[in-house]
Structure formats: C-alpha cells, structure tokens
Chain A
C-alpha cells in the first residue's frame, strides 16, 4: 500500500504513534484460534429455547389466539403473548424523541407484515419449542395489503399502521423532509438542458454469517445478563428497559463481539422478549434466529425510489436539482424515518448547486420493516446521483470526470442545507483517481484544490 503524502501535506503529521502505523488487530488471535467468545458460545445449564410463531399473512386482523395445545406440549415451559409484555408498543428511536411508538413486541389484534412475531414459545429443547410452536392456533381475518410505496400514498389505500394514521411518517416539517435552497424554478428556467430520471432499488438483506440472537441468564437480585450480538448495546438496553418496565440497572448487557452486522443488528428485536422469558421462568433463555428468519425476518435495507430532475448548462454547471425520494419503511418505523431524513441531507451530493429542492418521504407498506444498512439513506442515493451525473455529462458531451470537477464542492461553498463546506477533499480524490485509473483530465482540473476557489 502506498500513502500519497503530497496531498494536504501542510495538515499531515508524521510523528504520530498509531495513526499511519500498521498494527495487528487486537481481536485476530482469538478469531484464528476459535477462542473469540460470540454470544452463542455461552451455554448455561437448564437453558430454554425460544421459538417465535409468526404471521403467515401480510396484513390481517387477529380474531383469536389459542395456545392451550402448545402449553401442554411436552417440554414447554412458557408461552408468551402480547398481554405478557409490560410495554408492548414501542419504537426504537423514542430514545431520541422520534415517535410515535408504532410497533408491537408481540402482535396485538393485528399483524402488518408476513413474518411478524405473534406468540413466543419457551421449551426445554429447540425441537420441543418448534413442535409446540406448530400447535399454536391463530385465527386471522386477512386484510388487503399494500406493497408499493406510490400505491400506499394514494387516497383509499389500506392503512398499514394505525399508530401513524396515514401511510407516511409525519415529520415536524410535514409529510416529508424538505430542503429548500435558492429558487428552483428560476434555476430550471435558466438551464440549457433539463434531465429527469427515476431510480429505484429493492430491499437488500445483510446476510451476516452469524444470525441475530441473544442468550439471557437470570442473575441474583432480579438482575439479568444478556449476551447479545446487537450492534447497538445501549440503544438495546434502554429500549429493553422501556419495554420491560425495568430499571436499566437490572439489565447487564454483554456484547460487542458480532459475527457480521452491517447494520442488520441495530434493531431491538430479540433481547426484550428473551429477557422477559428469563424473568417469567427464572431460567436462562436462548433466542437465536434460524437462517431462514435472518433472511426473511430481520430488517433489510429499505427499498427506495428516487426521482432526480436536474438543470444543467452547456458549460457543465448544474444550476438546479430537484429530488423526490421515497423510502419504504415496511410496516414499522424502526430506523427508516431517520434514513429518509439522511436522504434529504444527502441528495445534493458532494456538489455545489445554487438552487435545490428536496422532498423525502418515509412510507409505510405491508413489507418486512426495513432499517439500517451500511450508509442507509445515502448508498442508494449515491448510486442514483452518480448515474445521473454520468447521464448529465453525456447529455452535454462532456467527460464525466471533468463534469464532476466543475461541480464538486470546495471549502467555503454553501451547501443546500446552509452549512458551509469544511474539510472537502473530493477534488484531490478525483485527481488521484484520474491518475490511478489512467483517465486523463484537462490540466486545469489537476491544478484545482479543495481549499480555494479559482485555483
């Protein structure tokens, strides 16, 4: 590996002890010897296994739940339904005042996506839990479902989530997150060309090698130790505290060792119900997703639809950008209102555009709730933006890299959110990319700097 130290030389310090020095990973010795302790590597005598009975329907009213046969099944210790959960309706981001609470730990009266948790069965063995789960009878009245974001936003669409009252997240800014900068219509009026394109993506599953799960052991003093592979330890602890109506001091979370997460393990899904099971039985409880559950049940990256309309001048300047973004939250919010908001912040791209208009919607459908995944809210947006940039360059007959040099923001440029740009480095990245990829650009672009205009 080569460090090209000519860039930002005046900001570089080469006398640092750690930065810039190769160091062995502190966890590698454990990994290569098989000694690293993942949550599932704990084993406790008398441990129960939790299996979830899940909705086979995308949208249905629950008329009744009969757990009597399951409870009688040999090896079954406890069967949990919504009434057993102290604070059953929650939402993860309530910790940062982003409500309303809109999701049930165990379904109560209604299911809103195929795979939703309805009944939890705790048994002496995995097998007994599976067998008993098959004996739980749930009487459903199937309701019309909606899977497409634009369909969901139409009047008369089935209402997915009553806690919201409409099929979109209501921000303090209204039905969508908004960015307004300059005069978008004046920008389009001056443009030599206008290009409007629609980009869309499907949900993407993280598919970590280690599936989501936790093991909970009751300690003395009504305290519970939760060994978990969550990527969000304290978010999970605090949400578990709310859901279980237990002081956080009763919860001891052990984790940080995650067998692949990629954002797929930031939701608070397995821990509260497993802790509740341990509390109500007094026994250790293991709740680990099967591979099928990991693929079908755990939150994927949201499906997105992005409509970008750009006004561009023949000299390469983008003078107006209007973006409408839709994020498919699925049936519940989880992290998607935040994801859609990130999209609003991101859609201008790393470009200085004088006139910007952005609306991003967080939409509810009867699909698997989506949530975080590596750069959620921006990754799909980047795909759309950079394809759009290539198309714009082609439209005006300009080299796509040179087109980006013309529009890239530099220190001091005002971004659409009225934050002045600081610490920009894209010019330098593109200069190096131009050399590394042997994609020549005009000398004036190689002479540019992120520091100063006109250089």
Chain B
C-alpha cells in the first residue's frame, strides 16, 4: 500500500482517522518519516492536524502549557522558557530543532528523546485526545498509545531549580551516551528539600532515579552530601548497548556525570 498523508483541521477528526491500521501521527517527521524512508512498510499512512492550539505556548503564573507541535527551536528561543533551553538545544542540529516537536520527543526511543527526560523530571502532565496522564505513566504506555498528544503542561521550577546534562562524544551535536535532568528544591540551609531526577539512555525510555532522589533528601550538594545518591543512581537501570555506548559504559559513567551535574 502506498503512503498517504491526511491533514485535518481539528485534533478530533485526526484522532478518528488515526484509528485506521497502519497510520501514524506526523509531527515534525523526524521519527516517522525517517522510518518510512528506511523502508518500514508497516506504516501506510500519516495523519496530522493543523489545529492552532497545537502550536501554542502559554506561560502564566508559573504554569506552562506547550502545544504538542511546538518545536525544540521555539522552546529554545521562548523568553519564559530559558530554563528549558539547554534541554531543547540538546536535540539534534539546527534543522532538526526547527522540525522536531515536543510531542514527538515523548515517543523518541533511546538514545534519542533528551527533552522528554527533562519533562519527566518536571513531572509534566501529558494531555491527549483521551485525557490527561502523568508523563511517567504516558511514557510507560507509549508503545500502545493511539491517542494524539495535544499538549504538555508543567510548573516552572525556580531559577536554577532545573539542571540538565547531556553527555555525547561528538560536540556540539552528538547522540546521547546519557542525559540527566534534576529538578531540585533546597531549604535555606542548602539541604535538598525536594528532588526529581530523570535519566535518559539508561533504559529504553526516560526513567526516574527514585533511589537517588530519596538519597538526596536532607543532604547538601557537597561531595560528601551527594555520595549516597551517587551510589544508588544506577539502581533499576537497564541501559541499551548501541553504537554510541555499551550498557556497561553507560552504567560506569552515570554516577560520574550525575556527580558533576549536582556539584557543577
């Protein structure tokens, strides 16, 4: 069956069309057109929607809502999203960032999907045509999800409250060995009062490092303070072995980079 693209002005109509077997939603094309270019004949049709809300960014009262079609470039240059700019700029090169969307990044398999790692650490809510889901639950079920992602919402951390690190062998544009996002709150005495840590490339999709999160609570961001968190940051990981790095290497360097992120 030949490929075909169908465009709908509303998400509702696009959702209905997406019920046909063999169809995939077309966002920026960086994942799905790549797949058909490489000969994935299981994909027979692309569905997309041009509903304007999909391309909107709203920031109000510390609450952020980003439409699913918003590109990495649009996030990187948005004045109210400076905190997320490093994560957005970590995706691909300039052309990819002009195409790749926040919605698509939620579906990017390791070693891609660095921005979704940041969304996981932000404990974002993913809105779909079928309702809202916490990002962690959404990522867990993404392989079977047929709903169209419409937007992603989260609360902006305070300045300096989000730390992002992508480790790649080629700079400035390289594929991840791993990436880490930490969203931390600290009490006036410097001890960590709240922590959410997400890892990229340490499993087939972004994952939370819950043992490390707990180990940081009540601790200061000093070499001694973070030592227990470094010791357990690899708990529960199952990183891929791919052309970028072996699973062994990823596990070995994770605590090193995690330490640099916390102390940097």
Contact = CB atoms under 8 A, between A and B. Distances in A.
Contact of B41 (A131, A290, A291, A292): A131
A125 B1 CA distance: 11
- Residue in B1, B37, B39 with the greatest tally of chain A CB atoms within 10 Å: B39
Nearest to B37: A290
A130 B2 contact: no
Contacts of B37: 290
A292 B3 contact: no
B46 to A, nearest CB: 13
A134 B44 CA distance: 14
- Residue in A127, A291, A292 with the greatest tally of chain B CB atoms within 10 Å: A127
Interface string A280-303: 000000000011100000000000
Nearest to A134: B41
B38 A127 contact: no
- Residue in B2, B36, B38, B41 with the greatest tally of chain A CB atoms within 10 Å: B41
A119 to B, nearest CB: 15
A69 B1 CA distance: 14
Nearest to B41: A131
Interface string B1-38: 11100000000000000000000000000000000111
A194 B39 CA distance: 56
Contacts of B1: 131
Contacts of B39: 51, 130, 133, 290
Contact of B38 (A131, A134, A290): A290
Per DSSP, chain A at the interface is helix
Nearest to B3: A127
A118 B38 CA distance: 19
Contacts of B38: 290-292
Nearest to B34: A291
B35 to A, nearest CB: 11
Contacts of B2: 125, 127-128
Contacts of A134: 41
A128 to B, nearest CB: 8
A9 B113 CA distance: 60
A390 to B, nearest CB: 26
B74 to A, nearest CB: 28
A134 B2 CA distance: 14
Contacts of A290: 37-39
Nearest to A292: B38
Contacts of B41: 127, 130-131, 134
Contacts of A130: 39, 41
Interface of A: 51, 125, 127-128, 130-131, 133-134, 290-292
Interface of B: 1-3, 36-39, 41
Rank and list the top 9 A-B pairs by shortest CB-CB distance, nearest first.
A130-B39, A131-B41, A130-B41, A134-B41, A292-B38, A290-B38, A127-B2, A127-B3, A290-B39
Given A127-B2, A130-B41, 8 more contacts: A51-B39, A125-B2, A127-B36, A127-B41, A130-B39, A131-B41, A133-B39, A291-B38
